[in-house]
């Protein structure tokens, strides 16, 4: 169940990244790192 939950979190993060790229035309490594940290934080909070 936790695996599916983290998978959905990653999918939503990817969707958010896609929406951001549509608005900004490009997302740098900083944006990807921020999204990665955000998803990792959510997964860590849910796994507690």
| Cα–Cα distance list, 4 to 9, 11, 28, 40, 44 (Å) | 9, 10, 28, 14, 14
How far apart, in whole angstroms, are the C-alpha atoms of residue 13 and residue 6? 10
List pLDDT tens digits, range 26-47. Answer: 656 777 777 777 878 888 777 7
Burial group, residue 29, by CB count within 10 angstroms (0-12, 13-18, 19+) = exposed
Query: How much is the pLDDT for 31?
Result: 74
Domain limits for position 7: 2-47
Closest CA to 17 of 5, 4, 40, 34: 34
Domain count, the chain: 1
* Phi, psi at 14, each rounded to 5°: -65, -40
Whether the predicted pLDDT of 8 surpasses 70: yes
């Amino acid at each position: 169940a936790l695996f599916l939950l983290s998978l959905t979190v990653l999918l939503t993060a990817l969707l958010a990244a896609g929406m951001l790229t549509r608005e900004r035309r490009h997302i740098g490594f900083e944006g990807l790192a921020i999204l990665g940290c955000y998803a990792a934080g959510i997964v860590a909070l849910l796994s507690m």
